[in-house]
Chains A and B, each alone.
Chain A
Amino acid sequence: MNCNKFEELLSAYQDNSLSPDEKKTFTDHMKLCSDCEAITEEVDHIKAILPELNRDVPFFLKNRLYLIGESDEEQAPVRNYAYLKWVAAGIGTMVLFLNLFYFTNIFPAANKTLHTAVAGVENFVVEAEAFIGRIKESNNLFIFKKTEVITKANKKKRDAKAKRKTIRGFKYG
């Protein structure tokens, strides 16, 4: 066994997890090599004192930590809108590429499809405008007819009122 192999097995030796043969070779080397013996003693020493570095949490710090816990419980859940920036970036990239394909002829097939799609949308808009115009016109007619009906009814009422006035005039005049 050499010193490197000895160091490799040191923790296993201290944990008592070496096989009897390995243990014998290990102890034989330790008897012959003073450096390895010294290292083993030093590791034993530091292993014994290291747990003393474990200490209690200072009182004031624990109080501060409780405050963090309380303030967190009172907080409303925060919604994460971080994904929106990726959505915006995606839409931006798409628009950029659509413009590129529309105004240049890098990909003729894409250019043709886009122009057809835009023409379709334009036709749709024109037809929709015409349809809305027709609806508005029919609504105006309806309003006009309604007004006329109301006017006729009012005229009847007005006539009846005038008649009553005339009769009253005859009575008291």
Chain B
Amino acid sequence: MLIDKYSRTVYNLAFNFCGCSDDANDLTQDIFIKIYKNIDKFDESFNISSWIIRISKNHCIDYWRKNKKNNFRIDLEDNLVRDENSPEDNLIKSGDLNKLREKILKLKPEVRSLLILRDIQNHSYKEIADSLNIPLGTVKSKINRARIQLAKLYEDR
């Protein structure tokens, strides 16, 4: 079923794109409604995963453009790390992750979606290029620039 296979991809793209779990829930729901409404139009000779990634990315960018004036907020408790490390380590790690999420939101929407797909969701460059119909070289250079920009933003803290 589509939901079992792709809900994680869609949800993580939405969540890291807007930085807030409430918005991510709404976005994921909207994206799946869109997918089900347009499933008849899907050409079966293409890869469904690419099609879903493209719909998700476009929907996230539209949502961002419509709502960017409302200032996206980050839920700090969303990334509380609770693993086997000491509570202090977990707190530091949570702080790092929240800082990183905050900085990701400062990237341009187009570049942000590429970075999320590559470095958070671990899709290959080729998969991203095929999904979004962008040349492979462009994808690589955009992701490279996004990483450097994010590193500089993160360094400033």
Q: A residues touching B (Cβ–Cβ < 8 Å)?
A: 7-8, 10-12, 38-39, 42-43, 45-47, 49-58, 61-62, 64-66, 68-69, 72, 77
Interface contact B100-A50, CB-CB below 8 Å: yes
Residues of A with C-beta under 8 A to B122: 51, 54
Q: B residues touching A (Cβ–Cβ < 8 Å)?
A: 1-3, 7-8, 11-12, 15-16, 21, 25, 28-29, 32-33, 36-37, 40, 79, 81, 93, 96-97, 100-101, 115, 119-122, 140-141, 143-145, 147-148, 150-152, 154-155
Residues of B with C-beta under 8 A to A47: 119, 147
CA distance A61 to B11 in the complex (A): 9
Residues of A with C-beta under 8 A to B144: 7-8, 10-12
How near does chain B come to A112, taking the closest CB pair, in angstroms?
Answer: 48
Interface contact B150-A46, CB-CB below 8 Å: yes
Known interface pairs A46-B150, A46-B154, A61-B11; 20 further A-B residue pairs with C-beta atoms within 8 A, sorted by A's residue number:
A7-B144, A8-B144, A10-B147, A10-B148, A11-B144, A11-B147, A39-B151, A42-B155, A45-B154, A50-B115, A50-B119, A54-B121, A57-B8, A57-B11, A58-B25, A61-B7, A64-B25, A64-B29, A69-B2, A69-B36
Interface contact B3-A62, CB-CB below 8 Å: yes
CA distance A57 to B121 in the complex (A): 13
Residues of A with C-beta under 8 A to B7: 57, 61-62, 65
CA distance A11 to B136 in the complex (A): 14
